[in-house]
């Protein structure tokens, strides 16, 4: 029953929203309404808001994450941010988000290099994978996700990634901001498929111990459906993470799941 021992993680991805002037206030509001010790909480603001959020949630037990990191330590990469630059600002990082793949043309190879830098820099990675609508309708969803996983994880030591606290987020890209909805069953099935890929890659029991989050338009209204799936261990929350009421509802439901799993584990 390894699933009962995996942490429940709720990570807020603020995307390109908030400014240094208002990010701290929002972070404090969320922190004050989500004090659930059984839930791992993370807020990932824009780079320019990292310091404000870090200061606002100090002592609240909330992790602060960056939304991206470069695959090199330094150099002629205008506008980019490297892992060493995040020291003291963030302890988590999102990698391979579907919007980075779309807008910046990030490939699995590039994401794999970023994963290397994140781990070396002491950042806990949230690795995103997911399929487009045409790929799902073509019956290729699991194949696409498997290819993304293998590409990003190639050359990485499973034990090292486990020590770094790797989290995988499944993003059904077709269900993000489109009005279409993925079901809990969709998310649960893909989480199981993700762990099959890890097992096939030689991860052994580490595959079962790796948290898998749902990352497709999670809200307080639908989070219970996803957390009811034993293979799903939380959510990477987008638009709803900008609303304290929504985050309060999501984290409260996550705490119920965490308590139930703890009880099941004995």
- Residue 197 near residue 156 (C-beta atoms within 8 A): no
- CA–CA distance, 21 with 25 (Å, rounded to integer): 8
* 171 in catalytic set: yes
Which residue in 171, 225, 229, 246 is the catalytic one? 171
Q: Per residue, what are the HEC states of the chain?
A: CHHHHCCEEEEEECCCCCCCCCHHHHHHHHHHHCCCCCEEEEEECCHHHHHHHHHHCCCCCCEEEECCCCCCCCCCCCCCCCHHHHCCCCCEEEECCHHHHHHHCCCHHHHHHHHHHHHHCCCEEEEEECCCHHHHHCCCHHHHHHHHHHHHHCCCCHHHHHHHCCEEEECCHHHCCCCCCCCHHHHHHHHHHHHHHHHHCCCCHHHHHCCEEECCCCCCCCHHHHHCCCCCCEEEECHHHHCHHHHHHHHHHHHHHHHHHHHHHC
Known catalytic membership, residue 97: yes
CA–CA gap between residue 25 and residue 228 (Å, rounded) = 32
Catalytic pick among 36, 70, 97, 225: 97
How far apart, in whole angstroms, are the C-alpha atoms of residue 48 and residue 228? 36
Question: Active-site residue numbers?
Answer: 97, 171
């Amino acid at each position: 029953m390894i699933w009962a021992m995996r942490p429940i993680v709720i990570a807020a991805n603020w995307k390109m929203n908030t400014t240094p002037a208002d990010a701290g206030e929002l972070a404090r509001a969320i922190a004050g309404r989500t004090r659930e010790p059984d839930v791992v909480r993370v807020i990932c603001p824009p780079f320019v808001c990292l310091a404000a959020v870090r200061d606002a949630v100090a002592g609240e037990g909330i992790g602060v994450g960056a939304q991206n990191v470069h695959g090199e330590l330094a150099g002629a990469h205008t506008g980019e941010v490297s892992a060493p630059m995040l020291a003291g600002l963030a302890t988590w990082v999102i990698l391979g988000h579907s919007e980075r793949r779309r807008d910046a043309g990030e490939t699995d190879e590039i994401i794999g290099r970023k994963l290397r830098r994140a781990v070396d820099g002491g950042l806990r990675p949230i690795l995103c994978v997911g399929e487009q609508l045409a790929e799902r309708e073509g019956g290729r969803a699991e194949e696409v996700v498997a290819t993304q996983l293998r590409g990003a994880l190639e050359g990485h030591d499973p034990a090292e990634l486990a020590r770094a606290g790797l989290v995988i987020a499944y993003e059904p890209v077709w269900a993000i901001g489109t009005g279409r909805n993925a079901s809990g069953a969709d998310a649960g099935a893909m989480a199981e498929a993700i762990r099959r890929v890890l097992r096939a890659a030689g991860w052994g029991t580490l595959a079962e111990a790796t948290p898998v989050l749902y990352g497709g338009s999670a809200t307080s209204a639908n989070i219970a459906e996803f957390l009811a799936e034993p293979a799903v261990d939380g959510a990477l929350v987008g638009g709803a993470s900008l609303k304290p009421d929504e985050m309060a509802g999501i984290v409260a439901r996550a705490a119920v799941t965490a308590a139930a799993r703890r009880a099941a584990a004995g």
